[in-house]
């Protein structure tokens, strides 16, 4: 299926088409030739905007982190009236939910094909924004007196290891359920344990 685009927006059309390919079939199946066919342009057109396949994957990863940032920001906004520890728990569930809903995109963002820090400034910035939600929520919780037996750095490491571990277990088929609802249930149980640990410090 071709992705229509207007004059001057070819790069956006190519990134959208590449994101669709990665979302549907994984990053391994992406090639510039196939991308050109998907976007309905000549085989040489992608090279006007991307030097190679890695550059396209970098743009797709940037797209993915924008979506991830938006999902976490939306959850944080919706939970703004909740107690601070519950806001941490909600963010953890949203983290896992995104992975379960966008498995191939998540694998690209965090897997072995993920562009490394320093490769692209735009990607680094949106990755930083997405990664700031959980530390910010934990900072609020500590300011309210929760989890103060640990340093902020220790809490961030623990929380990230927990939610990313749940996401990885789900994506690898080791979590006992293959659907989004099952991933969310496991995330709620795990983040609930984190919440109880933080409350016990108060």
Amino acid 116: pLDDT = 85
CA angle, residues 118, 110, 40, in degrees to nearest 5: 85
Domain extents in the chain:
1-50, 53-200
The pLDDT value given to residue 47: 85
pTM score of the predicted model: 0.90
Q: What is the pLDDT of residue 8?
A: 52
**CA distance linking residue 115 with residue 62, whole number of Å:** 9
CA-CA distance, 60 to 21, in Å (whole number)? 10
DSSP 41-56: S-TTGGGGT-SSHHHH
Per-residue pLDDT of the chain (202 residues; tens, 9 = 90+): 444 444 458 888 899 989 999 999 999 888 888 888 888 888 888 888 898 999 999 999 999 999 999 999 999 999 999 999 999 999 999 999 999 999 999 999 998 878 888 888 999 999 999 999 999 999 999 999 999 999 999 999 999 999 999 999 999 999 877 899 999 999 999 999 999 999 997 6
Residue partners of 153: CB distance under 8 A and separation at least 6: none
CA atoms within 13 A on the CB side of 65: 23
* CATH topology assigned to domain 1-50: Arc Repressor Mutant, subunit A (1.10.10)
Same fold, 1-50 and 53-200: no
> In this structure, are residues 67 and 102 in contact, taking their beta carbons and an 8 Å threshold?
yes
CATH architecture under which domain 53-200 falls: Orthogonal Bundle (1.10)
């Amino acid at each position: 299926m071709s992705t229509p685009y207007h004059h001057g927006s070819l790069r956006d059309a190519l990134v959208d088409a590449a994101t669709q390919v990665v979302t549907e079939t994984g990053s391994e199946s992406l090639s510039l030739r196939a991308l050109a066919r998907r976007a309905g342009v000549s085989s040489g057109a992608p090279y006007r905007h991307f030097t190679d396949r890695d550059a396209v994957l970098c743009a797709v990863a940037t797209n993915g982190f924008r979506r991830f940032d938006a999902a976490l920001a939306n959850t944080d906004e919706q939970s703004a009236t909740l107690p601070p520890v519950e806001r941490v728990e909600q963010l953890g569930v949203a983290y896992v939910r995104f992975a379960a809903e966008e498995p191939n995109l998540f694998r690209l963002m965090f897997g072995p094909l993920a562009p490394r820090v320093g490769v692209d400034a735009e990607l680094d910035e949106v990755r930083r924004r997405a990664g700031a939600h959980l530390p910010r929520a934990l900072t609020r919780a500590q300011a309210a007196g929760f989890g103060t037996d640990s340093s902020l750095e220790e809490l961030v490491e623990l929380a990230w290891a927990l939610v990313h571990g749940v996401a990885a277990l789900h994506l690898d088929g080791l979590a006992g359920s293959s659907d989004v609802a099952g991933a969310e249930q496991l995330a709620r149980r795990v983040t609930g344990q984190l919440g109880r640990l933080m409350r016990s410090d108060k």
